């Protein structure tokens, strides 16, 4: 096949793929609102009896995919923990993304990329571009060079049927020094409003493909800052279940009317159930039940 023909085939494949928001919404309805984070921290590798090298990384990651792919709406590999192993680690990440697709579960690359101009376009090609070995179903993005700096990723995601999750209200203590600035007209509120505007292009879908990252342990910050998360009409990735202390009921209280959009994320608490498949599944099932019961 010529390069030109291959390019046409790739574009045609992308045109047939439903938007990410539609695919994620269907997965959440079918399986429930759980995202399992794949975070191969050195301490977890050691707890599983694995070496802190590319082979240990591969065995850990593919075991998680095999154990919980049918229980989760999405899997979220933490990119930094693959990057620390250099090219060998990124090769494992490519395997993880391919294995997730083969298992029929959506993937979210937790890369938190953000830059300007041609550099942002290159990141978009890497994580969202058709044919890229690193392309996931969605990627996390940082908007703190200005929301509009994300335009290349937003356009690439729309063109390829993929999605993005933009950092909006994170639970780390340092986040408030930027995200809460402005009070009633906070930076976090501006990001929410920009995401809502972007989701206008998905008006025919029940869930847009431009999501937000809102920490599961932000407490009353959503209400205090006046954020209308339901109006975003996109998925809300909420990390912090389990090890960080959040529960389904706490998420329900914090997100209010937007709770049906919440994709609750647990990493360390579920991963601590390994290396055995039964332990991973038991913890994933327990977390999923907690999220469903809270709804």
Average pLDDT, the chain: 93
The phi and psi torsions of 241 (rounded to 5 degrees) equal: -70, 145
Which DSSP letter does residue 18 get?
P
Residue 15 scores a pLDDT above 60? no
Q: Looking at residue 218, what is its pLDDT?
A: 87
Interatomic CA distance for residues 29 and 272, integer angstroms: 27
Q: Are 75 and 36 in contact (CB under 8 A)?
A: yes
* Range from 38-42, 84-88, 116-120, 176-180 carrying the lowest mean pLDDT: 176-180
Residue 10 scores a pLDDT above 60? no
**What ranges do the domains of the chain cover?**
19-294
Q: Residue 14: pLDDT band by 50, 70, 90 thresholds?
A: low
Q: Residue 245: pLDDT band by 50, 70, 90 thresholds?
A: confident
Interatomic CA distance for residues 16 and 13, integer angstroms: 5
pLDDT digits (tens, 9 = 90+) for 20-43: 999 999 999 999 999 999 999 999
Catalytic residue list contains 189: no
What is the number of helices (H) and of strands (E) in the chain?
A: 14, 8
Residue 105 scores a pLDDT above 70? yes
Interatomic CA distance for residues 58 and 48, integer angstroms: 13
Tokens of 240: 């912090």
From the candidates 17, 31, 41, 112, which is the catalytic residue? Answer: 112
Q: Using a pLDDT cut of 70, give the percent of the chain over it.
A: 94
What is the pTM for the complete model shown? 0.94
Tokens of 283: 């913890």
Q: What are the start-end ranges of the H helices in the chain?
A: 3-16, 20-31, 42-47, 54-68, 80-83, 86-103, 117-128, 151-160, 176-179, 187-198, 221-224, 248-255, 268-271, 277-294
Interatomic CA distance for residues 153 and 164, integer angstroms: 8
What mean pLDDT do residues 227-241 have?
A: 95
pLDDT digits (tens, 9 = 90+) for 148-190: 999 999 999 999 999 999 999 998 889 999 999 998 899 999 9
Residue 95 scores a pLDDT above 50? yes
Q: Are 271 and 64 in contact (CB under 8 A)?
A: yes
Residue 11 scores a pLDDT above 80? no
Domain covering 19-294 in this structure, CATH number: 3.20.20.70
Q: Are 106 and 125 in contact (CB under 8 A)?
A: no
- Partners of 211 in the β-ladder: 165
Q: Looking at residue 13, what is its pLDDT?
A: 52
Q: Looking at residue 4, what is its pLDDT?
A: 39
Interatomic CA distance for residues 235 and 207, integer angstroms: 7
């Amino acid at each position: 096949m010529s390069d030109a023909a291959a390019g046409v085939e790739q574009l045609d494949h992308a045109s047939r793929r439903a938007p990410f928001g539609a695919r994620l919404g269907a997965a959440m309805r079918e399986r429930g609102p759980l995202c399992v984070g794949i975070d191969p921290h050195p301490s977890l590798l050691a707890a599983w009896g694995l070496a802190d090298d590319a082979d240990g990384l591969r065995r850990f990651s593919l075991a998680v995919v095999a154990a919980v792919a049918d229980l989760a709406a999405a899997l979220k590999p933490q990119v930094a923990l693959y990057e620390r192993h250099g090219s060998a680690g990124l090769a494992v990440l490519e395997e993880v993304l391919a294995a997730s697709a083969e298992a029929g579960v959506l993937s979210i690359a937790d890369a938190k990329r953000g830059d300007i101009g041609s550099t942002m376009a290159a990141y978009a090609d890497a994580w969202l571009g058709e044919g890229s070995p690193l392309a996931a179903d969605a990627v996390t993005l940082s908007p703190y060079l200005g929301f509009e700096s994300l335009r290349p990723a937003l356009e690439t995601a729309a063109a390829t049927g993929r999605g993005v999750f933009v950092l909006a209200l994170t639970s780390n203590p340092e986040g408030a020094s930027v995200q809460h600035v402005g009070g009633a007209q906070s930076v976090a509120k501006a990001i929410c409003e920009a995401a809502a505007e972007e989701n206008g292009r998905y008006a025919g879908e029940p869930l847009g493909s431009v999501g937000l990252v809102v920490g599961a342990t932000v407490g009353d910050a959503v209400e205090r800052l006046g954020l209308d998360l339901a109006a975003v009409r996109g998925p809300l990735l909420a990390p912090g279940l389990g090890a960080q202390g959040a529960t389904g009921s706490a998420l329900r209280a914090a997100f209010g009317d937007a709770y049906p959009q919440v994709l609750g994320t647990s990493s360390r608490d579920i991963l601590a159930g390994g290396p055995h498949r039964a332990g991973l599944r038991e913890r994933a099932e327990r977390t999923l039940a907690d999220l469903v019961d809270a709804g």
